[in-house]
Amino acid sequence: MYNILICDDEKDIVSALKIYLASDDYNLYEAYDGPEALEVIEKNDIHLILLDIMMPKLDGIQVLTRMRKSYNIPVIFLTAKGEDTDKILGLNLGADDYITKPFNPVELLARVKSQLRRYMELGSGAKKSSVLKVGDIELDDSAKAAFLMGEPVSLTPKEYGILKLLMEHPGQVFSPKQIYGQVWEEHAYGAEGTVAVHIRHLREKVEANPDEPRHLKVVWGQGYKIE
């Protein structure tokens, strides 16, 4: 069964889309603004997103820009007539398709099936593994779980975010500001001390000997890496 996220600030539109898609027995998630959409994406294995452009807090363009840093999930923009500039911008930033309100249910279902087929059979949906492994450390991103030598490790969300970032780029050095910007998604004020504390806690949890780490390394004057 495929998981589809519907994100629109108009509840009537979300309800209508759920009715259209219910006939194909999809597992449907819903969100009504940008931050809600990003939270659903973070916590669930989503296969397709129907994303409104004009939304409060974070609009569809901003949501797409943020999620494309980590996810290759296909996105179909839900657009209104007269939003041609936004449609073009969205496609240039990585949206896969768009459909204009009011929706034709037959066209909507056809576009949804097309994107799911492309993603699961031809693209990264069929090939990309959610499991990362570096030495004795394993991270299952679909389950949001970490393991050391096969044993589960309890991590805070920020610790998990740092570990995921480093494990996705083994051997690459990230400065504290880069880590803070990626994980906290905030201005990197006070980043060095904050990141250092979280790295120390991570070492205590994922290193057999935190005082002589095998994997989480500091590169003096530059930052941190995993190897």
* CATH code where residue 30 lies: 3.40.50.2300
Structural domain harbouring 222: 131-226
- Where is the domain boundary, 127, 160, 182? 127
Give this prediction's pTM: 0.55
Distance, in Å, from the CA atom of 80 to the CA atom of 52, rounded to the nearest integer, reads 9
In this structure, are 22 and 101 located in the same domain? yes
Q: What is the pLDDT of residue 16?
A: 92
In this structure, are 7 and 110 located in the same domain? yes
In this structure, are 159 and 69 located in the same domain? no
Residue 86 reports pLDDT greater than 80: no
Work out the pLDDT band at 94, boundaries 50, 70, 90. confident
In this structure, are 180 and 198 located in the same domain? yes
Interval 133-160: pLDDT, tens: 888 888 888 778 888 888 888 988 889 9
Q: Give the residue with greater pLDDT, 210 vs 188.
A: 210
DSSP at 174:
B
Which residues lie closer than 8 Å to 37 by C-beta, 6 or more apart?
5, 7, 31, 49, 51, 58, 63
